């Protein structure tokens, strides 16, 4: 038991994590639902009264409550795993990644879960950082509904279910991500850091 707990406290390798994500998707399928985390964003819009502005938000949000409960569980799971099942805070990123980030001026790449340069309370006092995070969110929310799903709905559930639409969407996801990291970061990072 003790060794199991010790093992859980280590970072999990990809060949454990990947199949367990499939398990989450299959469990939700078995429960008669689907795996799609971005649908919650639409439900939150409806709860906030967005149905008065667009028919896209006209549906009974109570039928989607189960998915908000999944998200609530994810928050709790994140809390427990991060504070009680974590031996090391550092992220095992490659040396090459650390070097790329050093070159941009990140002080301690991989030392914490997310870079303090973007996510610390100090960082978000800078309007440029707030704007960056807000714009990133706008892209994510707009893009995911436009594409009809996010990483969970398209990349995992959709491709597992042999959906052409999901293959196209994931090609889109990677196109956007590669443009951001390779073409935009070289101009953006010097402004932000």
Partner 1 sequence: MLKKYFKFLAVGFFFGVLLVKSEIISWYRIFEMFNFQAFHMYGIIGSAIAIGMIGLIVFKKYKVNDINGNPINIPDKEHRFKAGIFGGAIFGLGWGLAGACPGPMYVLMGTGALTISIVLIGSIIGTFIYGLLRSKLPH
Using CB under 8 A as the binding rule, the residues of this chain from 173 to 192 that contact partner 1 are: 173-182, 184-185
Among 102, 135, 186, 190, binds partner 1 (CB under 8 A): 135
CB atoms within 10 A of CB 153: 22
Q: How far is the CB of 36 from partner 1 (least distance, A)?
A: 9
Long-range interactions of 140-145: CB distance < 8 A, separation 24+? 140/38, 141/38, 141/41, 143/176, 144/38, 144/41, 145/38, 145/41, 145/42
Output 41 or 193, the one with its CB closest to partner 1.
41
Closest CA to 150 of 73, 70, 71, 39: 39
- Report the C-alpha gap between 28 and 59 in whole angstroms: 21
Assigned token pair, 28: 């939700």
State yes or no: residue 168 binds partner 1 (CB under 8 A).
yes
Tokens of 65: 């409550």
Least distance (Å) from partner 1 to the CB of residue 111? Answer: 9
Q: Which of 59, 74, 102, 128 binds partner 1 (CB under 8 A)?
A: 74
Nearer to partner 1, 1 or 122 (CB): 122
Q: Which of residues 45-64 bind partner 1 (CB under 8 A)?
A: 45, 48, 50, 53-54, 56-57
* 127 lies in the binding site for partner 1 (CB under 8 A): no
In total, the chain counts a number of residues equal to 193
- In sequence order, the 6+-apart residues with CB closer than 8 A to the CB of 147 are 154, 169, 172, 173
The number of residues that bind partner 1 (CB under 8 A) is 128
Least Å distance, CB 128 to partner 1, is 13
Distance CA(52)–CA(106), nearest Å, equals 44
Q: Considering only residues 1, 4, 5, 75, which one is a binding residue for partner 1 as defined by CB under 8 A?
A: 75
Q: Is 114 in the site for partner 1 (CB under 8 A)?
A: yes
Query: The tokens of 38 are what?
Result: 């971005």
State which residue, 2 or 14, has the beta carbon closest to partner 1: 14
Report the residue number, 107 or 161, with the smaller CB distance to partner 1: 161
């Amino acid at each position: 038991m003790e060794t199991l707990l010790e093992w859980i406290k280590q970072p999990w390798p990809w060949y454990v994590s990947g199949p367990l994500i499939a398990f989450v998707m299959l469990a939700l399928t078995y429960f008669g639902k689907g795996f799609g985390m971005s649908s919650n964003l639409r439900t939150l819009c409806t709860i906030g009264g967005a149905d008065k502005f667009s028919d896209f938000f006209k549906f009974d949000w109570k039928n989607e409550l189960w998915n908000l409960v999944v998200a609530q569980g994810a928050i709790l799971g994140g809390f427990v795993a991060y504070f009680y099942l974590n031996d090391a805070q550092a992220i095992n990123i490659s040396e090459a990644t650390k070097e790329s980030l050093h070159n941009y001026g990140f002080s301690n790449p991989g030392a914490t879960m997310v870079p303090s340069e973007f996510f610390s309370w100090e960082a978000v006092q800078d309007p440029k950082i707030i704007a960056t995070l807000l714009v990133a969110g706008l892209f994510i929310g707009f893009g995911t509904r436009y594409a009809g799903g996010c990483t969970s709905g398209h990349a995992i559930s959709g491709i597992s279910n042999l959906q052409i639409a999901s293959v196209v969407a994931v090609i889109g996801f990677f196109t956007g991500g590669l443009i951001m990291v390779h073409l935009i970061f070289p101009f953006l990072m010097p402004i932000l850091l």
